[in-house]
Chains A and B, each alone.
Chain A
């Protein structure tokens, strides 16, 4: 009775995940979809706690389970409520890492459970472990650990506490390490015994190290791709648990996310016109500084605030190109203020959003939505590119690589081929940046040296506040 009730709970849970993901694909139904998936998840979790039967026994250790659930819920809710919108990508990365760690821990415990320490001298295995079980334990361990370590590095990179790092021969080291993990795991799966069981923990450590080395050299600009990839890894790790316990809801949820995450990763790579392999082993953020690409020399001109204000106030059409600089400076609210002010003066204002602007696809949309910017004002890249030639002023706010013309006309550039916002078609381009330092991809931007481009240096928020004040007096 309980078991069949539980399988119905799992069925409902699986269906809510699918419906939830589907509803997440429309702005009107997205929030409801998230809620439906959450309800399904709650059903699956509490169903498991109260109805799961191991043989003919129910679960025990309820005090431990509920204490852990309470701690996790409390910390998770507070962290999720407190996080700033700009820090959203690293938060997702961190939560993803938690899931990976959870999957890896399950494998560790299951390994122990199946191959357990006894008080009597020596070791004994409770039962012969089937190869299938061992295979899923190892897969969960390796994928979960890589996802955990990688997510933590991605988190550190996005919040700036970990810098890009690579050493000579890193790719070879990574490949050897990964092959080593596979070989040792394969050996253990085939010949596990009392004398070599400790290699399991060697695999665990090696997988963690691999996760770190895997993400470390990848440039910050590629972090969204990496997070998306690690997200799908964790999905697969969760599915390994589904195999282990013959649990349909874990399997459905895990594989669903694994497949969807992989596709999302590929879509993101496409937006940057690169292959996944190129992102993963190219690590251009790390070595671009040392390559032979010619540096662009020339002079750039600065624009004063009052000139910029006049220029924008008397324009017919202004397009704002937001980038990560806007996010870092928390300038989305004052940006919206600028937009309203210009609209009051009869200027047509819209936003051009590059698919990989910010640190994640859709990141800019989320940020601008937070500042109450109207949905209809956000234009995707193709739309915006058609309009730049009729635009008087383009205001680039802390974006760099996504407006770099080198992507179109310099085959030597590491970002050559990436679709960009063609802001140089507009009559005037005003670029707000903190300094002339290159962007995340570590390459110079010829746009800044073009005659129609003027630079407005300063933190995006401070500069915009002054600009707003200045426009009010025009």
Chain B
């Protein structure tokens, strides 16, 4: 119990961020017209690709002889990059078509 309480107080700022972001995420998306739902989902998909930062950190601090970590980290960075780059490019392609109309 004590450890959990300690953990919460040590991560106070982060817990605030989580709660505020939950409300913000709901607020931001609630105004999106349904025609933009697919691009929006795709854009959101690209944004959660931010998980790549974790992969970079893991990769960058792995000991040079820890081959399991290196290989898995390498794979994680590739997958994360796919998520980010693919996500943004696909979203851009969708929105490009909307733009021609305006």
Q: Which residues of A contact B (CB under 8 A)?
A: 13, 17-18, 20-22, 24-28, 30-31, 33-35, 37-38, 41, 44-45, 48-49, 52, 54, 57-62, 64-65, 67-69, 71-73, 75-77, 79-81, 83, 85, 88-89, 91-92, 95-96, 98-99, 101-103, 105-106, 108-110, 112-113, 117, 130-132, 227-228, 231, 234-235, 237-239, 241-264, 267-268, 271, 353, 355, 360-363, 365-366, 369-370, 372, 374-375, 378, 380
25 CB contacts below 8 A, A to B, read: A24-B39, A25-B31, A25-B40, A31-B99, A49-B60, A57-B61, A61-B70, A76-B89, A101-B79, A105-B73, A108-B72, A109-B73, A112-B66, A112-B68, A130-B3, A237-B48, A251-B17, A252-B17, A254-B51, A255-B18, A256-B47, A258-B25, A362-B34, A366-B38, A366-B98
- Minimum CB–CB distance for A25 against chain B, Å: 4
Q: Chain A: which residue is nearest B25 at the CB level?
A: A259
- Minimum CB–CB distance for B16 against chain A, Å: 10
B51 and A103 contact, CB distance less than 8 A: yes
Contacts of A80 in B (CB 8 A): 85-87, 89-90, 93
Q: Which residues of chain B (56-73) have a CB below 8 Å from chain A? A: 56-62, 64, 66, 68-70, 72-73
B79 and A102 contact, CB distance less than 8 A: yes
- Minimum CB–CB distance for A338 against chain B, Å: 19
B74 and A81 contact, CB distance less than 8 A: no
A89 and B38 contact, CB distance less than 8 A: yes
Partner of B54, one of A21, A54, A241: A241
B76 and A105 contact, CB distance less than 8 A: yes
How many residues on B have C-beta within 8 angstroms of the other chain's C-beta atoms? 85
Q: A238-B54, A253-B50, A263-B29 are in contact. List 7 more A-B contacts (CB 8 A).
A: A17-B47, A76-B86, A234-B45, A250-B53, A263-B26, A264-B40, A361-B37
Given contacts A27-B98, A257-B48, contact A52 B38 (CB under 8 A): no
Contacts of B86 in A (CB 8 A): 75-77, 79-80, 91, 95, 98
A41 and B84 contact, CB distance less than 8 A: yes
Contacts of A249 in B (CB 8 A): 50, 53
Q: Chain B: which residue is nearest A227 at the CB level?
A: B41
Contacts of B46 in A (CB 8 A): 34, 37-38, 41, 95
Q: Taking chain B's interface residues, is the majority helix, strand, or loop, or is none over half, making it mixed?
A: helix
- Minimum CB–CB distance for B27 against chain A, Å: 9
Contacts of A103 in B (CB 8 A): 51, 54
B79 and A72 contact, CB distance less than 8 A: yes
A112 and B69 contact, CB distance less than 8 A: yes
Partner of A235, one of B28, B44, B53, B84: B44
Contacts of B51 in A (CB 8 A): 99, 102-103, 106, 234, 237-238, 241, 250, 254
Contacts of B37 in A (CB 8 A): 264, 267-268, 360-362
B59 and A68 contact, CB distance less than 8 A: yes
A34 and B95 contact, CB distance less than 8 A: yes
Contacts of A75 in B (CB 8 A): 78, 82, 86
B4 and A131 contact, CB distance less than 8 A: yes
A365 to B38, CA, bound (A): 9
B54 and A255 contact, CB distance less than 8 A: no
A34 and B88 contact, CB distance less than 8 A: yes
B98 and A375 contact, CB distance less than 8 A: yes
Given contacts A41-B47, A45-B56, contact A30 B18 (CB under 8 A): no
Contacts of A259 in B (CB 8 A): 21-26, 29
A250 and B54 contact, CB distance less than 8 A: yes
Most buried by A among B37, B55, B95: B37
A22 to B89, CA, bound (A): 18
- Minimum CB–CB distance for B65 against chain A, Å: 10
A166 to B52, CA, bound (A): 35
Contacts of B100 in A (CB 8 A): 369, 372
A360 and B47 contact, CB distance less than 8 A: no
Partner of A65, one of B22, B40, B77, B96: B77
A246 and B80 contact, CB distance less than 8 A: no
A105 and B75 contact, CB distance less than 8 A: yes
Contacts of B96 in A (CB 8 A): 31
Given contacts A95-B90, A110-B58, A260-B25, contact A362 B38 (CB under 8 A): yes
Contacts of A247 in B (CB 8 A): 53-54, 57
B80 and A37 contact, CB distance less than 8 A: no
Contacts of A96 in B (CB 8 A): 45, 48, 83
A263 and B83 contact, CB distance less than 8 A: no
**Chain B 1-15 interface 0/1 with A at a Cβ cutoff of 8 Å (1 = within):** 001100100110010
Q: Chain A: which residue is nearest B76 at the CB level?
A: A105
Given contacts A65-B60, A131-B7, contact A105 B79 (CB under 8 A): yes
A106 to B43, CA, bound (A): 23
- Minimum CB–CB distance for B51 against chain A, Å: 4
A366 and B81 contact, CB distance less than 8 A: no
B55 and A105 contact, CB distance less than 8 A: yes
- Minimum CB–CB distance for A453 against chain B, Å: 27
B48 and A71 contact, CB distance less than 8 A: no
A10 to B22, CA, bound (A): 18
